[in-house]
Structure 1
Amino acid sequence: MTDRQQPPEQTSSETASAVVDEASRQAAPRRGGLMRSGMVVSSMTMLSRVMGLARDMVIAALFGAGQGADAFFVAFKVPNFLRRLFAEGAFNQAFVPVLSEYATQRTRDEVRELLDAVAGSLAAVLMLITALAMLAAPWLAWAFAPGFARDPEKMALTVDMLRLTFPYLLLISLTAFSGSVLNTWGRFAVPAFTPVLLNLSLIGAAMLLTPLVSEPALALAWGVLIAGAAQLAFQVPFLARLGLLPRPWPRFAHPGVRRVLKLMAPAMFGVSVAQINLLLDTVLASLLAAGSVSWLYYSDRLVELPLGVFGVAIGTVILPALSKRHAEQSREHFAQMLDWAIRAVLLLGLPAALALVVLAEPLLITLFHYGAMTDHDIDMAAMSLRAYAVGLVAFMLIKVLAPGFFAQQDTKTPVTIGMIAMGANMVFNLILIWPLAHAGLALATALSAFLNAGLLGRLLHRRGVLIFQAGWGRYAVQLLGGCMAMGLALVWLAPDWHQWLDWSLARRAGWLAALVAVGGGVYFAWLAATGVRLRHFRMKS
C-alpha cells in the first residue's frame, strides 16, 4: 500500500475514546421501529397467552368451577392484582420515564446508581408487605371473598393458598423491575417471553404435584410460587449481559427513588382501575351462585388474550418511546405516536371484540368443556364473556392512552379519571347485578372502561399531545366495513353451539381454526381492497 492508502494511526487517547464510545453505544438504549418492536412483544405475548389458555384448560379439566378452583382463583387474584398495581402498573409507569431520562441525559454511573437504589428500595418495601400479608391472610381472604365465609372449608383452603401465593408478589415485582430496564434498552423479547414460565409452572404443578398434596388445588398455589422464582432467575443473565445487573441497596433518599415514589403513589390507582374493577367483580361474585367467580375468571381469560397480544404489547413499546420524545421535547412526534397507537389497537381490537361476541360458546367449549366443566358452566361463562368483550376496545385504549400521561411524568391526572371510573363502576355494578347476576358485573366493568378511556383521550387532546392525523374518517369506514363483513361471515358459517358439545377436541379445534381463518381472511381482505396497507403503520421510536 502507498502511504496515502494506509489508514492514519490512532493515538492511545483516541483509541481509548473509541473504546468508550463503542461501550456507550452498546449500553445505550436501542431505537427501532415501533411496529417491529410491537410485533416482537405481540408474538411473545401470543405464545404466553396460548400457554395460558393451555394452563386454564388443564385447570378446568381437573377442577372445573368447583370449590378448589374458586379458592385458587381468589388466592391467585389478590397477589396478581397487587403485582399489576406495584409492578406492571404503578411501578412500571413511574420508573420507565425516570429511567429513560437518566439514560438520555445522565452518565452511565448515575444510571447504575439509580438501578441499585430503586432495586433495593423496591425489594425492602415488598418484603415487608409480603410478610404482613402472609400474617393477615385470614383477613385478606375474608375481605376479597366475603361470600366464602358461608363455607369454612372453602375459606380455610383460600387462606392456605394465599400464604403460598403471596411471596409471588415480591418475586414478580423484581422481575418487572428487570423487564422495565430491558424494555428501556430496547430488549423487548425477554420480558415478553417471561410469563410463559408461569404457565409452564402451573401446568406442571397441576399434573405432577396434585397427587402429592392433601388438597389437590394446593398444587396450583405451589406452582405460582415456583413460577415467581423461575421468572426472576430467567431475566438476570440478560441484565448482566448489558452490564445493568443492580446491586440492590435501599436508598429512599436518592433523588431518582424519590421521583419514582412520587409518581408511583397516584399511579397505583390511576393505571390499575380496570384491575380494581375486576377485583370488585370477584368480591361481589363470591356473594352470588357457586361458580360465579370461576365463570368470570374463564371469560376474563379469553378477553385477556387479545388485550395482552395487542393492547399491552403496543402500550409496552410506546411508553419508553414516548418518554424519550418527552425528554427530547419532541412534541410533534409525541402526538404522532399516540395517534399511531390508537389506530393500531383499533385495527385489531375491533375484530377481536366482535369475534368474542359471535364465537363465545364455541371458544369456551373448545378450550374448557372437559372433565369437571359442565354445559351450564359454559352457558354462564359465555354471558360474562360477551359482556367483557363489549369493553375490549376500551381496555386496549386505556393501555395506550395512559402512557401519554406517564411519559410526561404526570400520574395525578389519571388518578382523578380513575376515581371517576371507579365510582361509575360501583354504580353500574349495583344497577346491573340484579338483572344480569355475574354478567352484570362484567358489563359494568366494560362500561366504566369506556368512561375511563374517553376521559383520558379528551384530556390528552386538550393538552395538544393527542392530535388526530389526517385520514381518520376513511379509516373508520374501512374498519367498520371490515368488521361487518367478518361478522356476517362468522354468523353464516358457525354451527349452532349446542352441536359443539358432542364433538371431539380435534373436531372442535378444526372448526374453530377454520372460523378464525375465514373471519380474519374476510376482514383483512376488505381492508386491503379498501386501501389499508402495512406501510401505513410504520413508526420510528
Structure 2
Amino acid sequence: MSLVRKFATVASGTLMSRIFGFTREMFMAAALGTGPVADAFNAAFRFPNTFRRLFAEGAFNSAFVPLFAKEIENNGMDGARRFSEEVFGVLFTVLLFLTIVMELSMPFLVRTIIAPGFVDDPTKFTTTIRMAVIMFPYLACMSLAAMMGGMLNSLHRYFAAAIAPVFLNVILIVVLVYAWWQGYDALAVGYGLSWGVMAAGLVQLAIVWFAVRNAGMRIGFRRPRLTANVKRLLVLALPAAITGGITQINLLINTNIASGAAGAVSSLVYADRIYQLPLGVVGIAVATVLLPELSRALRAGNMQEASSLQNRSVEFTLFLTLPAAAALLVMSEPIVRLLFERGKFGADSTLEVSTLLAIYGIGLPAFVLNKAFIPGFFAREDTRTPMIFAAISMVVNVSIALSLFPFFGARGIVTAEIVSGWLYALLLFFTLVRRGHWGHDRPLLSRIPRLILSAAIMAVAIHYACIHFAPELSSAASLATRAVTVIAIVLGAMVIYFGLAFASGGADLGMIRRSIRRRASTKTDEHQTE
C-alpha cells in the first residue's frame, strides 16, 4: 500500500472526527456562546485533554511504536504481546494513582494551574472544579486507548484508532440536542457535556480494545514490573511526552493566561477548533503513518527509502497545508460567521474569533511541518533533542504571551503560539540537516516556491471574492445564502490553487504516487490489512 493511501486512511477517520467536531462546536456556540459556562467547560476539559496528549499520544505514538515494532521483528507476535502486557500493567497502575491524586487536588489545580483568573468569580471557579472532577477520568481511558492505537498502527491497522475520536463528538452532539429539546439552561448543558466526555472515553477505549483483539493481540493484565523493556520505554517516553505534546503544553499555559479576560478562553477554543481541521487531517495523518514506516526503513538500513519518506511527507503536507493557511488568513470572518454566529454567539464574538483564526493561519504550516519533522528523531530513538527544542519553544511562547496579553488579549496569546511554533520547526529541520538525517531533494526544493506562489494567487482571488460577495456573506444574509457563498468561494479557490500548482510544476500527482509507492518489506506487511 502506498504512503498516500495510508495517509488517506488515517486522514479519512480524522476528517470525519473534525466534521462532527465542527457540528459539536456549532451547537455549543449557540447554547453557551463565549459566556462563563463555556469558559468553565473549556478550561476544565483542556486539563485532561492536555495530559492525554502529553502522556498518551505524545509518549506512546513516539516511544512505544518503535519499540513495539522492534519486538514484532525480533520476537514475533508473542514477544510483542508480552511487551504490551508489561507496559499495560505499569500504565494502568500509574493512571489509577494519577487520577486519584488529581481528583483530590482539583481545587488547588484550578486555582493555580488551570484557570487562576476564575478565582475572583466564585460561581465560575466552583463550576470549573466540578466539571474537571467529572471529566478527568477521561485521561485514563484515552491513555490506554492511545497505547492500543499505537499497537494498531504498528500492525498497519490505522482506521480504528483514527475513527474512535468521532464518538466523542457524536456523544456530545447527542447531549446538546437532548438539552435543547428539554430546554436546559446553560449550567445544566455544561454538566451534561462533562458527563458526555466521560462516557466518550469509555466508548473509545472499547473500540480500540476490540480492534486489537481482532488483530490477534489479546492483552492480559500483568503485575506492574519495571522490566528492561519498560525501563527503555520510560527513558524514551518522558521526553517524547513533552515533545509530542508541545502544542498542548502551550495551550494549557495559554488557557491559564487567558483566564484573566472574560470570554478569552472560549474564543481561543473556537478558533483552535477550526484550524485543527487541516492540522488534524494532514498533520496527524502524516505523523501517525510516518513514524512506523520510517522506523522500519531505518531498521532495514535503507537510508534512501528513509530520505524519500521524509521528503515526500513534507511535500504532501505543504501541498495541502499552504492553501488552507492562505484561506484562513483572508476569509476567516465569513467562515466563523457561517459556523458559529447564532444564538448566544454574536457579531462581537465572530470578530474576535475570526481575528484569532487569521493569525493561526500564519502558523499552520509550521504546526503541520513539526508533525513531519519529529518522526525523524523518534524513529532513531532520539527523544532528547526534540524535548530540548520543545522547552526552548515553550519559554519563548510564555514570554511573548505574558508580554502581549495585557495589550492585545487573546490575540497576543495566539501570536506567541505562532512565533514559538515556527521557531520549533526551524530548530528541528536544521538539526536534521546538520546531522545528515535529511537527504537533499532537488524536486522538493523546486516545488516549494511554486506551491507558495499558487497559494498566494489563490489568497488574492479569495480576498476580492469576499469583497464582491460581501452582502451575501454578511449577518443580514440567510444561513443558506452564506453557506452557498462560502462553499462557492472555497470551490473556486480550490480550482485556482490546484490548477496553478499542477500547471506550474509545484505538484505532480503521478510522480508523487510513483515515488512513495513501496512494496511490503516484512512478513507482517504481507499478511496484515488495514
Length-normalised TM-score, structure 2: 0.93
**CA distance in structure 1 between the partners assigned to 2:339 and 2:487 by the alignment:** 12
> Residue 393 of structure 1 corresponds to which residue in structure 2?
365
1:239 to 2:208 alignment: no
Shift of 1:422: 1.0
Aligned residue among 155, 161, 175 for 1:191: 161
Shift of 1:107: 2.5
1:258 to 2:227 alignment: no
Shift of 1:52: 0.3
Q: Deviations over 1:227-269 (max 9, x none)?
A: 0011111122221112112112243322221111110111121
> Residue 405 of structure 2 corresponds to which residue in structure 1?
433
**CA distance in structure 1 between the partners assigned to 2:271 and 2:471 by the alignment:** 16
Bigger shift: residues 264-273 or 467-476: 467-476
> Residue 527 of structure 2 corresponds to which residue in structure 1?
none
1:283 to 2:256 alignment: yes
Shift of 1:91: 2.2
AA partner of residue 362 (structure 2) = V
Shift of 1:507: 1.5
Q: 1:430 to 1:498 in 2, by over 3 A?
A: farther
Shift of 1:204: 1.0
**CA distance in structure 1 between the partners assigned to 2:99 and 2:130 by the alignment:** 15
Q: 1:263 to 1:370 in 2, by over 3 A?
A: same
1:59 to 2:28 alignment: yes
> Residue 180 of structure 1 corresponds to which residue in structure 2?
150
SS of structure 1 residue aligned to 2:119: helix
CA contact (8 A) 2:321 2:364 kept: yes
**CA distance in structure 2 between the partners assigned to 1:430 and 1:65 by the alignment:** 22
1:160 to 2:130 alignment: yes
Shift of 1:305: 0.5
1:510 to 2:510 alignment: no
> Residue 303 of structure 1 corresponds to which residue in structure 2?
275
Q: Deviations over 1:332-376 (max 9, x none)?
A: 221221111111111111110110111111110111101110110
**CA distance in structure 2 between the partners assigned to 1:215 and 1:250 by the alignment:** 41
**CA distance in structure 2 between the partners assigned to 1:498 and 1:160 by the alignment:** 43
> Residue 294 of structure 1 corresponds to which residue in structure 2?
266
> Residue 247 of structure 2 corresponds to which residue in structure 1?
274
> Residue 136 of structure 1 corresponds to which residue in structure 2?
105
SS of structure 2 residue aligned to 1:373: coil
Q: What percentage of residue pairs aligned between the two structures are identical?
A: 36
AA partner of residue 259 (structure 1) = R
**CA distance in structure 2 between the partners assigned to 1:497 and 1:169 by the alignment:** 45
Structure 2 gap ranges (5+): 519-530
1:80 to 2:55 alignment: no
SS of structure 1 residue aligned to 2:374: helix
Shift of 1:383: 1.6
The correspondence of residues 473-492 of structure 1 with structure 2, limited to 5 A, is: 473-492=445-464
The correspondence of residues 222-233 of structure 1 with structure 2, limited to 5 A, is: 222-233=195-206
**CA distance in structure 2 between the partners assigned to 1:506 and 1:314 by the alignment:** 35
1:171 to 2:146 alignment: no
AA partner of residue 137 (structure 1) = M
Bigger shift: residues 105-114 or 167-176: 105-114
AA partner of residue 230 (structure 1) = V
**CA distance in structure 1 between the partners assigned to 2:152 and 2:242 by the alignment:** 25
> Residue 8 of structure 1 corresponds to which residue in structure 2?
none
1:36 to 2:22 alignment: no
Q: 1:497 to 1:88 in 2, by over 3 A?
A: farther
CA contact (8 A) 1:251 1:257 kept: no
CA contact (8 A) 1:97 1:323 kept: yes
Shift of 1:499: 4.6
AA partner of residue 397 (structure 1) = L
Shift of 1:377: 0.6
The correspondence of residues 361-376 of structure 1 with structure 2, limited to 5 A, is: 361-376=333-348
Aligned residue among 339, 355, 361 for 2:311: 339
Shift of 1:168: 0.2
Shift of 1:434: 3.3
Aligned residue among 421, 427, 432 for 1:449: 421
**CA distance in structure 2 between the partners assigned to 1:499 and 1:42 by the alignment:** 30
Q: Deviations over 1:400-451 (max 9, x none)?
A: 1111111111110011111111111122213322332111100110110000
Aligned residue among 95, 103, 109 for 2:72: 103
CA contact (8 A) 2:44 2:129 kept: yes
Aligned residue among 456, 465, 468 for 2:437: 465
Shift of 1:209: 5.0
> Residue 208 of structure 1 corresponds to which residue in structure 2?
178
1:530 to 2:504 alignment: yes
**CA distance in structure 1 between the partners assigned to 2:403 and 2:125 by the alignment:** 28
CA contact (8 A) 1:104 1:324 kept: no
**CA distance in structure 1 between the partners assigned to 2:395 and 2:421 by the alignment:** 12
Q: 1:157 to 1:468 in 2, by over 3 A?
A: same
Q: 1:113 to 1:499 in 2, by over 3 A?
A: closer
> Residue 50 of structure 1 corresponds to which residue in structure 2?
19
Structure 1 gap ranges (5+): 1-31
Shift of 1:477: 2.8
CA RMSD of aligned residues (A): 1.5
**CA distance in structure 1 between the partners assigned to 2:93 and 2:223 by the alignment:** 7
**CA distance in structure 2 between the partners assigned to 1:118 and 1:326 by the alignment:** 24
Q: Deviations over 1:172-208 (max 9, x none)?
A: 1111111111111111111111110000011112222
Q: 1:526 to 1:173 in 2, by over 3 A?
A: same
CA contact (8 A) 1:205 1:222 kept: no
Shift of 1:66: 0.6
**CA distance in structure 2 between the partners assigned to 1:384 and 1:450 by the alignment:** 17
CA contact (8 A) 1:124 1:250 kept: no
CA contact (8 A) 2:93 2:224 kept: no
CA contact (8 A) 1:298 1:381 kept: yes
SS of structure 2 residue aligned to 1:410: coil
